[in-house]
Amino acid sequence: MADILDQKIIHPLKLFNIATNEKRLLYTSAPMVRYSKLAFRQTVFEYGTDLCWTPMILAKEFNRNQFARNSDFTVSTTGPQPPTIVQFGANVPQELARASSLVAPFTSGVDLNCGCPQSWACAATMGAALMEKRELVRDMVTTTREQLRQDGWDVGLDKDMESSKGRSVSVKIRVHKDLRKTMDFIETVIGGPSREHRNVDFLTIHPRTRQTPSSTPINVESLEILTSTYGDRVPILLSGDVFTLNALPFSSPLLSPNPTFTTSSEVPETGTETIPRRLNIPKLAGLMSARAILANPALYAGYDACPWEAVEAFLNNVARAPLPFKLTLHHLSEMCAPGMAASDKTALLNKQERSEMMRCENMIDLIDFLDEKREIKRRRRREGDIAG
Ligand SMILES: Cc1cc2nc3c(=O)[nH]c(=O)nc-3n(C[C@H](O)[C@H](O)[C@H](O)COP(=O)(O)O)c2cc1C
């Protein structure tokens, strides 16, 4: 415990600043129920992720149940301890404040999930249902900020970014079909007229509505409007379709080289031809990846497909920060399959090999299986090189 409390915790706003000074976007990995646990966070951190999210944790259960606390949130006592945001699902200000108070010594900040579309969450007025409850969301973040301040944490936004006691409070949202509702929501939740007087340190926007399936591309136009309206008042992260750094559906001065991909927005030009228009999003501060980083934890290090080394790094991290064996297998089946990047659909294992892997019954079998497959592929590559 003393070890972890001694580790210097870095303020997320400082990370935003470092990324901007390096003329790039901030790289973050998304909250993913079931998946974004410590061993995975450590793996993506090794491959260039600046800031990691835990899966959503239900604040009420976390506050009341020691078992929930032990199983939902793990930190490393021996490092590496990636800069981490703990995400909560909550609908009562005091519940979010209390849960945040419990995790604050071990984390860079806390985040409220206003995006989960699942029916059970919405029925309990959590997740995306909160997009219709802007005053409640504002009350949850202000109560939490006040609780952390009373506990002795520095929650003074940019002015506290150098403090080792600095902590952030943020929210992750979806958009409404009518973007004016999203703007009303953001106005209410960030509050204050200026950057110095806001209620949230930063905002993550997933530009899909509660009803939009994840197979539908994100709405880049709404992201452009929201970032140009609010990007000077609050740092904004994009969650959605961050599949590879080389093929984002927009351009930004903080992306170099800029992607070659285009959006669905096409402006009619002369004659029958249309010239695809790529929207520029200069006020976006960072990226958050979910499905793509699950398949390829090395995404931010510039890999378009998962390398074997990332599999090895993940297994090493699992050995130190164990995950249930079935969950480890699920992670590996994601990492060994074709990823989300359209430019590179190579897979470490083919479909048949992946089914074979899923039949492994323990870690020893699994490690032997992967070692053997990797060695066979290495040998084939060498033979191919010689033949070629
Ligand atoms: C397996 C999985 C679990 C998720 N769990 C959460 C969660 O706990 N909290 C949350 O805010 N979003 C959650 N999401 C949504 C993602 O954080 C993200 O907003 C969404 O998948 C869009 O990003 P992508 O296109 O990079 O996948 C989850 C997504 C996936 C695929």
Inform me whether the pLDDT recorded for 263 exceeds 50.
Answer: no
Binding residues for FMN, as ranges, are 31-33, 87, 172, 206, 290-291
The catalytic site residues sit at 116
Residue 73: per-residue pLDDT: 93
Residue 289: per-residue pLDDT: 98
As a whole number, the mean pLDDT across the chain is 92
Identify which of 51, 241, 291 to mutate to test ligand 1's pocket (most ligand atoms within 8 A of the CB).
291
Q: Give the binding-site residues of ligand 1, using a 6 Å CB cut-off.
A: 30-33, 35, 55-56, 87, 113, 115-116, 172, 206, 214, 239-242, 289-292
Nearest protein Cα to ligand 1, atom 28: 32
Residue 86: per-residue pLDDT: 98
Nearest protein Cα to ligand 1, atom 14: 32
- Region of poorest pLDDT, from 173-187, 254-268, 273-287: 254-268
Q: Which atom of ligand 1 is nearest to the CA of 172?
A: 11
Q: Judge contact between 292 and 341, C-beta under 8 A.
A: yes
The CA distances from residue 371 to 310, 312, 357, in Å, are 13, 10, 12
Would you state the CATH architecture of domain 2-303? Alpha-Beta Barrel (3.20)
Q: How many angstroms separate the CA atoms of 183 and 174, rounded?
A: 11
Q: How many angstroms separate the CA atoms of 188 and 132, rounded?
A: 12
Inform me whether the pLDDT recorded for 24 exceeds 80.
Answer: yes
Which sequence spans correspond to the domains of the chain? 2-303, 324-387
Residue 361: per-residue pLDDT: 97
- Tell me the per-residue pLDDT of 133-147, one tens digit each, with 9 for 90 and over: 999 999 999 999 999
Ligand 1 center from residue 32 Cα (angstroms): 5
Residue 381: per-residue pLDDT: 85
Rounded average pLDDT over 325-330: 97
Residue 276: per-residue pLDDT: 55
Q: Residue 78: which pLDDT band, with cuts at 50, 70 and 90?
A: confident
- Residue 343 falls in which region: left (phi positive, over 0), alpha (psi -120 to 50) or beta: alpha
